Amino acid sequence: MVSIIVPCYNGQKFIKRCFNSILNQSYKQIEIILVNDGSTDKSEKIIFEYKNKFIEQGMKFNYIYKENGGLGSAINEGLKHVNGEYLTLLDIDDYIMIDSIKLKVEFLDSHMDYNVVRTNGYYVTEKNLDSKESLFVIDEKEKNNIYIFDDLINAKTNNWAGSYMVRTEKLFKFYKDRNIYESRYGQNLQILLPLVYKSKSGFIDKPLMKYIRQENSLSSSTSANSFDKQIENMLGYKQIRQYMINLIVDENEKNTYLKVIDINYARYIMDLAYANRDKQKVYENYNILKNLDCVTLEDKILYYGVKNKPIQYVLRIYRKVFVRR
């Protein structure tokens, strides 16, 4: 059986689409754990309208109401009720294709030495739900990589809810109390990282879900988010990655990983600050890189270019020729 935790906070306009995608699954041995995180809209009413539909399909349906505590809190509540051999999370505003659960189960059933399997998918918007232009993963090296711990730490591969499935036995061996760190950020990282550290992860190269970009989502990088909010989000994900390194990694490797995280986020923030012409933050994060003794040519161009238009032109040319990896 597969357990699907679906956290919901004021998701009334998405519930039918999400639930129908579960009902339409070709694999029916499913346990839905819907955690209503204190919704104040009509979510509860719509949820109960679907309860019998799940039961008619032979699926188990577990409805949990709790006071609003945020996404991390909702997932922790859901974890307490998981009974399935496998687990996946699904955001209420996303949906999965008809064979999504079936193919992931088949993979894990036939690869007993893998704790995780992920799939490809599409990035879409509410206005362009049928688009097939933006795949999660297009690089063949990324698709074929079975050791993804470093890629997740370096934010070089996706970890969207609905795109992965994990073995619950292995997950709860790590989280014996069935609690992850409650934060607004990084719930999927917290599920995945313990299971892929020095362990294999599979990849099914089929688009089996759609990640629907919402204008106000944490992961959105559109202008709808203020500069300060984007910085706050980056620092939130940085903190989760640091937390997980301290929780998972062998002592002799911790400092190396923590330094890499410091370097990555100094560059992310410096890039963002440069785009927003925030000279102070460019200088602050350049100095972090300098203190870590890892300044690159592009870092220097960025640092000097924030107030020098000719250097800004050089930077644009540099980035066209040399793509940062």
pLDDT value, residue 301 = 84
Confidence tier at 277 by pLDDT (50, 70, 90)? confident
28-57 per-position pLDDT tens digit: 999 999 999 999 999 999 999 999 999 999
Residue boundaries of the structural domains of the chain: 2-213, 227-321
- For all residues of the chain together, what is the average pLDDT? 92
Mean pLDDT within 217-246: 81
| DSSP β-ladder status, 30-37 and 2-8 | parallel
Query: Using only C-alpha atoms, what is the Rg of the chain?
Result: 21
User: How many Å apart are CA 273 and CA 50, to the nearest integer?
Assistant: 46
pLDDT(156) > 70: yes
254-263 per-position pLDDT tens digit: 999 999 999 9
Task: Please give the structure tokens belonging to residue 206.
Answer: 């089929």
User: How many Å apart are CA 112 and CA 291, to the nearest integer?
Assistant: 45
Instruction: Indicate the class that CATH gives domain 2-213.
Output: alpha beta
pLDDT(141) > 60: yes
